[in-house]
Amino acid sequence: MYRYDEFDHQMVEDRVAQFRGQVERRLSGEITENQFKPLRLMNGVYLQLHAYMLRICIPYGQMSSRQLHALADVARDYDKGYGHFTTRQNIQFNWVALKDIPDVLAKLAGVEMHANQTSGNCIRNTTSDQFAGAAADEIEDPRPWCEIIRQWSTFHPEFTYLPRKFKIAVTAAGSDRAAIRLHDIGLIMKANAAGETGFEVYVGGGQGRTPHVAPRIRDWVSKADLLSYLEAVMRVYNRCGRRDNKYKARIKILVAETGIETFRDQVEAEFAAQGAEEKVALPQEEIDRIGAYFAPPLFDGEGGAEAFEAAQAEDREFARWCRINLHPHKEEGYRSVTISLKPEGVPPGDATESQMRLVADLARDYSLDDVRVTHEQNLVLPHVGIGNLYTVYLALRSGGLASANAGLITDMICCPGLDYCDLANARSIPLAADIQTAFTDIQEQEDIGELKVKISGCINACGHHHVGHIGILGVDKKGEEYYQITFGGRADEKAQIGEIAGKGLRQDEVPAALKRVVERYRSVRTGKDERFIDAVERLGTDPFKEALYDAD
Amino acid sequence: MTSVRPKLKPEQFKAITGWETTTGDVIWMRGDGSWTKIAAELGAFAGEAAEEALAAAQADEAHVTGAYFMQVTEDGKIDGRETLRESIRANGPTCHPQFAKGGR
């Protein structure tokens, strides 16, 4: 993984010192909240329902054992013993005192972490496939490109005050696990006719109150041109994006209102107009230098296939976990392990201090010191030899982290909702808990198969409800919480926005309604190979809407 | 960014609430103008007295951040459109009962 050089260290340390001074001035009353707010947001500090919330950047969701231990230290020393992993592959602490935040950031700087650009109208953390560098279906590792984009975009003076926040995602896999077309810019690595790897570029995707699936703006951009092309997109957005109405300020609105053809022409004109001195130089040596940080680790073919098979034969729950939570690895004899942060009764994405330490130790001992955060709010050990899988499973089980539900109906994305978020209209987490209880039978879950439920507590859609196979949006009706259901959304390579079913339901009505929907799906599917989303694609949403409201 | 609170009429009873600047803890103004972290101790204000209390809170930014009116009954119980949100602020997140606060 990328390691800071002396400049990175200095930059982050300077930033901590700067923010320490800003906090001191705020606490002394020298500056007002209005003056302080943009400064704290640039350092990942929000003011939420109960307290300040600190969002810490985990670049493209990758961290080391040491970094995860540092996050566990923050949970223990400055929060209430836990952290919350987010859909942006970051972590949030919900109870940190403002007076302590400079110390937290100083501690994190010591392990090459920070909170820069986790808020504000700038280019945010670049996200990626959680199996990057390990996945059997990728054409190359996208992480060097995430890092190159991170270095280009961090503190970029031209893009510090964009009309609105800006999110970029990169994948190099055939299956889109990074919700590429729901980002302001989505990049898919692919080869051109000559066999050179470059990028297919999508622009103008996003969720929130006006969801859009990003259209393709360019079929292929070379590696050498990537940053210059991104800069051309950003310049058109910075120049033409609306600043008069924050609800219309995202690039998705600009692209939709301008039309993708005209927008493409504007970007191409900007790209063509860049003089040689304006192009962002990206020489091969620099690409190689960054790429070296992500060189494939030494896979020593640990063996253990026999023991792996034997353990599955002896322990049915382990066998189930293997069927559901393991992902194919590009190296023979290895698997990527999804650690579900959705055990029953726990808010989705939460991990306690001790769970973080357990995962950190397992990563150090069994996954080449590598841990990932997924945008579906789980953790991943990307490189585990099959001979070690049973040991890892037993350790996870002892820590309450062996739920065999990755990708199943109880593996929900869920925003913090009204329990924590001051913007929310309704609670999300208690509803997620009710749904988990309704579908507690793991055999039933496995029989249902892949079904992505996503819950947001307001139209800002932090819980990605627009792209849930079943999406749930909390709304406020005269002070009461109701939940609007959508069907058919998806964030994969066939990305689309879900269709609203009809009137909202009360919280206590939702689990039984979903049960009816799932039963309808099981009765109409052509076989277990036809997932819920496939059935919606084949039949449309009508059969499921009918089941949703068929309470009698 | 915080959500927009509903405007309250002058005659309606209100409490003054915000966040303690140093910690971010939720606080409420008592009837005597001092601050408390226990919602049960909040003061109910109305009319000119409420406006004066809010102005005093907003002038004390080193201590309290984001002070605003919250609707209550005459005897200080949380009331009105924002009852659920304000009850969660007062009692703690319903999904984490271990972090319950004093409440009201």
- Domains and their CATH numbers in chain A: 6-109 (3.90.480.20), 142-292 (3.30.413.10), 305-398 (3.90.480.20), 413-549 (3.30.413.10)
Residue A40 zone, left/alpha/beta (φ > 0; ψ -120 to 50; rest) = alpha
**Non-local CB neighbours of B78 within 8 Å, separated by 6+ positions:** B39, B70, B71, B72, B86, B87, B90, B104
d(CA A457, CA A453): 13
**Non-local CB neighbours of A241 within 8 Å, separated by 6+ positions:** A162, A163, A164, A249, A250, A251, A253, A254
Q: What value does the mean pLDDT take over residues A338-364?
A: 97
| CA dihedral of A212, A213, A217, A220, whole degrees rounded to 10 | 160
B31 vs chain A: nearest CA distance in angstroms?
Answer: 22
pLDDT tens track for A79-106:
999 999 999 999 999 999 999 999 999 9
**Non-local CB neighbours of A117 within 8 Å, separated by 6+ positions:** A42, A57, A123, A124, A125, A153, A154
**Secondary structure of chain B: what % helix, strand, coil (to 5)?**
25, 25, 50
pLDDT tens track for A283-329:
999 999 999 999 998 888 668 999 999 999 999 999 999 999 999 99
The separation between CA B50 and the C-alpha centre of its own chain, rounded to angstroms, equals: 12
CA–CA distances in Å: residue A171 to residues A167, A214, A250: 14, 15, 22
Per-residue pLDDT at A243 exceeds 80: yes
Looking at residue B104, its amino acid is: R
User: Chain A contacts of B19, Cβ < 8 Å?
Assistant: 47, 51-52
d(CA A441, CA A80): 31
Residue with tokens 């439920």: A453
Query: In the beta sheet, which residues pair with residue A92?
Result: A55, A84
Long-range pairs for A271-278 at CB < 8 Å and ≥24 separation? A271/A228, A271/A229, A271/A232, A274/A228, A274/A231, A274/A232, A278/A228
Both tokens assigned to A117: 């650009």
**Non-local CB neighbours of A231 within 8 Å, separated by 6+ positions:** A158, A274, A280
Which of A28, A419, A478 faces B93 most closely, judged by CB atoms?
A419
CA atoms within 13 A on the CB side of A222: 11
pLDDT tens track for A54-79:
999 999 999 999 999 999 999 999 99
Task: Output the average pLDDT for chain B.
Answer: 93
pLDDT value for A478: 86
Per-residue pLDDT at A50 exceeds 70: yes
Tell me the percentage of chain A whose pLDDT exceeds 70: 99
Would an 8 Å CB–CB cutoff place B2 in contact with chain A? yes
Both tokens assigned to A3: 């390691």
pLDDT tens track for A391-432:
999 999 999 999 999 999 999 999 999 999 999 999 999 999
Tell me the percentage of chain B whose pLDDT exceeds 90: 88
Per-residue pLDDT at B4 exceeds 80: no
Residue A78 and residue A353 in contact, taking contact as beta carbons nearer than 8 Å? no
Per-residue pLDDT at B103 exceeds 70: no
d(CA A394, CA A375): 25
Give the model's confidence band at A110: pLDDT under 50 very low, under 70 low, under 90 confident, else very high. very high
pLDDT value for A299: 87
Report strand pairing: A82-85 vs A91-93. antiparallel
pLDDT value for A298: 85
Per-residue pLDDT at A281 exceeds 90: no
How many other C-beta atoms can be found within 10 angstroms of the C-beta atom of residue A192?
13
Classify A261 as helix, strand or coil: helix
pLDDT value for B5: 81
CB contact under 8 A, A429 and B95: yes
pLDDT value for B102: 72
pLDDT tens track for A429-473:
999 999 999 999 999 999 999 999 999 999 999 999 999 999 999
Which DSSP letter does residue A110 get?
Answer: T
pLDDT value for A300: 80
- Report H helices in A49-185: 65-78, 101-109, 143-153
Give the model's confidence band at B42: pLDDT under 50 very low, under 70 low, under 90 confident, else very high. very high
Query: In the beta sheet, which residues pair with residue A372?
Result: A62, A380
User: Chain B contacts of A481, Cβ < 8 Å?
Assistant: 84
CB contact under 8 A, B66 and A33: yes
CB contact under 8 A, B22 and A80: no
d(CA A282, CA A472): 43
Report strand pairing: A371-373 vs A334-339. unpaired
Both tokens assigned to A105: 């950031």
Segment 52-91 of chain B within 8 Å of chain A by CB: 61-62, 65-66, 80-85, 88-89
Would an 8 Å CB–CB cutoff place B94 in contact with chain A? yes
Mutation target vs A (from B2, B28, B95; most A CBs, 10 A cutoff):
B95
Give the model's confidence band at B91: pLDDT under 50 very low, under 70 low, under 90 confident, else very high. very high
Residue A172 and residue A142 in contact, taking contact as beta carbons nearer than 8 Å? yes
CB contact under 8 A, A478 and B21: no
Q: What value does the mean pLDDT take over residues A344-352?
A: 97
CB contact under 8 A, A29 and B83: no
Residue A427 and residue A476 in contact, taking contact as beta carbons nearer than 8 Å? no
Residue with tokens 């066998």: A319
The ipTM of this complex is 0.95
Which of A46, A96, A420 faces B93 most closely, judged by CB atoms?
A420
pLDDT value for A84: 98
Task: Output the average pLDDT for chain A.
Answer: 97
Residue B26 and residue B90 in contact, taking contact as beta carbons nearer than 8 Å? yes
Q: What value does the mean pLDDT take over residues A266-290?
A: 94
Per-residue pLDDT at B104 exceeds 90: no
B6 vs chain A: nearest CA distance in angstroms?
Answer: 12
